[in-house]
Chains A and B, each alone.
Chain A
Amino acid sequence: MPLLELKKVSKNFGGLKAVSQVSFSLEKGEILGIIGPNGAGKTTLFNTLTGFYKPDEGEIWFEGEKLIDLKPHQICKKGMVRTFQIVKPFLELTTLDNVMIAALNRTKHIHEATEKALRTIEMVGLKDKAQTLATGLTLPHRKRLELARALATEPKLLLLDEVMAGLTPTEVDELIRLLKEINRQGITILLIEHVMRGVMALSQRVIVLNYGEKIAEGVPEEVVKNRQVIDAYLGEEFRNA
């Protein structure tokens, strides 16, 4: 039984087919990358999976259960959590409080949630920023905070929306290591990413979206050689690679 399965999921905005008949499945423990040009429907797909949008067609199955009309918070409770491409920290709160609120997803005790948050913050390398207000964090730190909050909800499936964008190569490497570690702990990862180095290093499989449709799926090394993918997204430099 796959952890997540999409069956011909579509989402339209008026006449625009933002996501069109997309099907794929994701096994437990896997890391699956989604790539594609801007406007290909990647974030829309995330919004549809996490209950921010209702799919117009198709079915979404999570852990053998069909998700119907669930709200984002219910989906989070089920164990699917996403980060936002444009990070959304609770600006007036400290890093610790940001993560603690996420940790309250699985407990009602502040004390317990705080401990959990401290561990998570340490894991993503924000320990010395625990008491800093989120307003005072740089973008790379805010991205880590976004990740820490998602992790603190104790997800089974982590949806990452461009967590590597805007990071330096060194920071990307650190993040790759961190995500591998998170995956090793048993968390399945679905990531939207433009930083190809990250996609190649992490993903066991890659899906390519273009104009809302899935145009390719496979292991990263094959997908990057696919003619359609090169034309639509990767561009000339990959043709000769």
Chain B
Amino acid sequence: MRKLYLFLLLAFLILLVLPKVMSSYALGIFIMIFFYAYLGQSWNILTGYTGVISLGHSLYVGIGAYMTYLLTLTLGLPPWIGMWIGGICAGAVGLVIGFFGFRFGLKGVYFVLLTISFAEIGRLIVLHLKVFGSFQGLFITPHFSAVNFQFKDNVPYYYIALGYVVFSLIVVRLLERSKIGRYMVALREEEEAAESLGVDVFKYKMIAIFISAFMTSLAGAFYTNYLYYLHPSTMMSMAFSIEIILRPIIGGMGTVLGPVIGSFLITPLAEISRTYFAKAGYEGLHLVIYGFLLVAVVLFFPRGVISYMKKALSPLLSGEKSH
């Protein structure tokens, strides 16, 4: 375990100095790696740890993004404050979805359907309301300053995104070791047994969906202030929900490092292929590649790449308790 922490510390230090040696384009790719790792981690709390499958997490990103932006626009609240309010709103929406799902015992595909429905409702509302920019979307005029979460070049975004990832790693690691986290895993493994051993199924699933939705929406604030353009068909779409879940699935669900590893594997590929294929006029081709990749991972690493890495690296990390 200590070796693993040392390795992570080393990796962190390298990531800290990386902006000194990298081009802005490369930094942009790293920002997306961090961004998706963070989103994957947030989703991982609900699906990887608790076993409640959500395919509508783009909804929470949308809530975070629009809330942050609108609070800035109307009340002049800096995004740094607005994002937490957005988080609470997303958490509340998560609780509503959870209430319908868990109160009435929806499981498996039925709950998935519920999450998709809510996400679609959210997308359609945003798409048709003027305040959200309607069909044109919202273009945000940046006012560069640290308080506004808006910067001229990629370096600050790089560090902020890295901060997001570290924050999510700490949250999930603490959660994993807490009573809440243990109960969440018990629910994933065998709900009836957990229930008969004193686990309040409804309560702990509600806690899981709240934390997950809250954290997911914080990424919305980043999205807004990094891309300066909000449109529901990109960031509140089904496709975006799939983007969120791919990395933890590929890296390893229900593990702290799985989403990060998954993102380091997939995001560069996605970013580079997207740019390349779009230039060549094959927009969306990278999604086809995704499809094949996912099939390959499911076939060869059904528990995610991390379980394979653990085996391969176990001599290096010896002394670590296999989990």
Residues of A within 8 A of B (CB): 50, 52, 71-73, 76-77, 81-82, 84, 88-93, 97, 100-102, 104-105, 108, 110, 113, 131, 149-150, 153
Contact = CB atoms under 8 A, between A and B. Distances in A.
Residue with the greatest number of chain B CB neighbours at <10 A, chosen from A52, A93, A149? A93
Contact of B182 (A72, A97, A149): A97
B190 to A, nearest CB: 5
Which of B186, B193, B196 counts the most A-chain CB atoms under 10 A from its CB?
A: B196
B192 A52 contact: yes
- 7 shortest interchain CB distances as A-B pairs: A105-B198, A90-B189, A88-B193, A76-B198, A72-B195, A102-B197, A88-B190
25 contacts: A50-B196, A52-B195, A71-B200, A72-B195, A73-B196, A73-B197, A73-B199, A73-B200, A77-B198, A81-B198, A82-B196, A84-B193, A84-B196, A88-B190, A88-B192, A89-B189, A90-B186, A90-B193, A92-B185, A93-B185, A93-B189, A101-B182, A101-B199, A105-B198, A110-B178
A85 B256 CA distance: 34
A108 B254 CA distance: 22
A46 B321 CA distance: 38
Contact of B189 (A91, A104, A153): A91
Contact of A73 (B177, B179, B185, B201): B201
Contacts of B197: 73, 76, 81, 101-102, 105, 149-150, 153
Nearest to B190: A88
A105 B183 CA distance: 10
Contact of B196 (A72, A91, A93): A72
Nearest to B186: A101
Nearest to A75: B196
A82 B195 CA distance: 11
A104 B185 contact: no
A82 B192 CA distance: 11
B197 to A, nearest CB: 4
A201 B193 CA distance: 28
